[in-house]
Amino acid sequence: MSSEARTSTTRGAYAVAVSASGHGRAAIARLRRWVDTRADDDAGPEAADAGRIDWLRAIPFVAMHFACVGVLWVGVSPAALWTAAALYALRMFALTAFYHRYFSHRTFNASRGVQFAFALIGASCVQRGPLWWAAHHRNHHRHADTTLDPHSPTLRGFLWSHAGWFLTRAAFRTDWARVPDFAKYPELRWLDRYDTVVPVVLALILYGFGAWLGTAAPQSGTSGAQMLVWGFFVSTVVLFHATVTINSLAHRVGSRRFETADDSRNNAWLALITFGEGWHNNHHFFPGTVRQGFRWWEVDLTWYLLRLLALVGLVRDLKPIPAWVAAKARG
Ligand SMILES: [Zn+2]
Ligand SMILES: [Zn+2]
């Protein structure tokens, strides 16, 4: 080999090594975002691939679904089922009452302690931090069913609005400009930045609880692995899909009481599984009230529970439905 050929081979190998280490660094930086979301903010929404699904970043989300198949191995017990159901109910309430009606729409007031307690429960739902959630939701209301809506089924299809949009590079960022009112709390910013911490702690607690129960009360028929699969994975995945039906189905299936500029619908079935969020056409017409069921028969479990919390002084200043909106709802 001539010396010229050798030099060019060396240069080629060097270029490959540099590019490989560059790719390696980029992959490590992207993996870091699984545990520290601040890197998402640095990524910038302008990148050419900002609107495409980031599959590396999406691995934990996909893996949670596969983990549910574990029910085939761990079996089932009343203790595991009750735990899964109780965690669904508690966390659905945290999402609808706090992530949605409090952080996104400010339809009632709460102390900083109560605000943090429910932000913490909300963070265990693996739907990221309260600031990320509220910022995207405020953008949804501003631009509902236009090209700027993060999750319109009318424009981008059912699957995208249900489980595609939030896996893109652009959507992993928190739109800080949209939530200055709550971004001033360092404890909320912490939950947003390290949004895997609370879910991991919940998973560990559930494993420990199941292992303890299986030993202390063998007749319960449970184990650490069984409690982890049912209490964490199954409960969280079902909770996720129930929640996002409001982005997908509640803009597609149901009736329209109000002629809003978007395609929102009222759907009683969705209202039942989401504790009141299915009255989505009501909500788009007037998002400024804590209630989403506008008639007495429009079941809105979150509203009933918030009234109870107000009675015992944990929340206050629940914003009612204005008289003119109630009159319009009666037709
Ligand atoms: Zn809303
Ligand atoms: Zn909507």
For residue range 253-268, list pLDDT tens digits in order: 999 999 999 999 999 9
Reported as a single tens digit per residue, the pLDDT across 167-192 is: 988 898 899 999 999 999 999 999 99
CA 178 to ligand 1 center in whole angstroms = 14
Q: Measured on CA atoms in the order 75, 241, 274, 272, is the torsion positive or negative?
A: negative
CA 223 to ligand 1 center in whole angstroms = 39
Greater confidence (33 vs 19) lies with: 33
Q: Is residue 139 one of the residues assigned to a domain?
A: yes
Q: Is residue 309 one of the residues assigned to a domain?
A: yes
CA 99 to ligand 1 center in whole angstroms = 10
The bound ligand whose nearest atom lies closest to the alpha carbon of 247 is 2
Q: Which candidate, 53, 46, 14, 12, places its Cα nearest to that of 30? A: 53
Q: Is residue 146 one of the residues assigned to a domain?
A: yes
pLDDT band at residue 32 using 50, 70 and 90 as cut-offs:
confident
Report the mean per-residue pLDDT for the chain: 92
What is the pTM (predicted TM-score) of this model? 0.90
CA 1 to ligand 1 center in whole angstroms = 69
Q: Residue 262 and residue 251: Cα distance in Å, rounded?
A: 8
Q: Residue 188 and residue 102: Cα distance in Å, rounded?
A: 13
Reported as a single tens digit per residue, the pLDDT across 236-256 is: 999 999 999 999 999 999 999
Contact between 47 and 171 (Cβ < 8 Å): no
Is the pLDDT confidence value at 45 over 60? no
Q: Residue 193 and residue 103: Cα distance in Å, rounded?
A: 17
CA 261 to ligand 2 center in whole angstroms = 11
CA 280 to ligand 2 center in whole angstroms = 6
Query: How many domains would you assign to the chain?
Result: 1
Q: Is residue 16 one of the residues assigned to a domain?
A: no
CA 13 to ligand 1 center in whole angstroms = 54
Reported as a single tens digit per residue, the pLDDT across 47-90 is: 667 888 889 889 999 999 999 999 999 999 999 999 999 999 99
DSSP class of residue 98 equals I
CA 255 to ligand 2 center in whole angstroms = 14
Helix axes 130-143, 186-193, angle to 10 degrees: 90
CA 103 to ligand 1 center in whole angstroms = 10
Is the pLDDT confidence value at 18 over 60? no
Is the pLDDT confidence value at 28 over 90? no
CA 266 to ligand 1 center in whole angstroms = 13
pLDDT band at residue 20 using 50, 70 and 90 as cut-offs:
low
CA 110 to ligand 2 center in whole angstroms = 25
CA 14 to ligand 1 center in whole angstroms = 53
Q: Residue 159 and residue 164: Cα distance in Å, rounded?
A: 6
Is the pLDDT confidence value at 229 over 90? yes
Token pair in block for residue 221:
């028929």
Q: Is residue 26 one of the residues assigned to a domain?
A: no
Token pair in block for residue 277:
């969020």
Q: What is the per-residue pLDDT for 19?
A: 60
CA 264 to ligand 2 center in whole angstroms = 6
Q: Residue 173 and residue 170: Cα distance in Å, rounded?
A: 6
pLDDT band at residue 311 using 50, 70 and 90 as cut-offs:
very high
CA 138 to ligand 1 center in whole angstroms = 7
The bound ligand whose nearest atom lies closest to the alpha carbon of 267 is 2
Exposed, middle or buried, 249 (CB in 10 Å: 0-12/13-18/19+)? buried
Q: What is the per-residue pLDDT for 75?
A: 96
CA 62 to ligand 2 center in whole angstroms = 25
Type of residue at 261: A
Q: Which candidate, 106, 86, 83, places its Cα nearest to that of 227? A: 83
**What CA dihedral angle connects 285, 88, 237 and 283, to 10 degrees?**
0
Q: Is residue 257 one of the residues assigned to a domain?
A: yes
Q: What is the per-residue pLDDT for 35?
A: 82
- Expressed as residue numbers, the domain containing 145 is 33-330
The bound ligand whose nearest atom lies closest to the alpha carbon of 288 is 1
The bound ligand whose nearest atom lies closest to the alpha carbon of 251 is 2
Residue 70: alpha-carbon gap to chain centroid: 23
Is the pLDDT confidence value at 95 over 80? yes
Angstrom CA distances, 12 to 7, 19, 26, stand at 9, 11, 21
The bound ligand whose nearest atom lies closest to the alpha carbon of 136 is 1
Q: Is residue 111 one of the residues assigned to a domain?
A: yes
Q: Is residue 305 one of the residues assigned to a domain?
A: yes
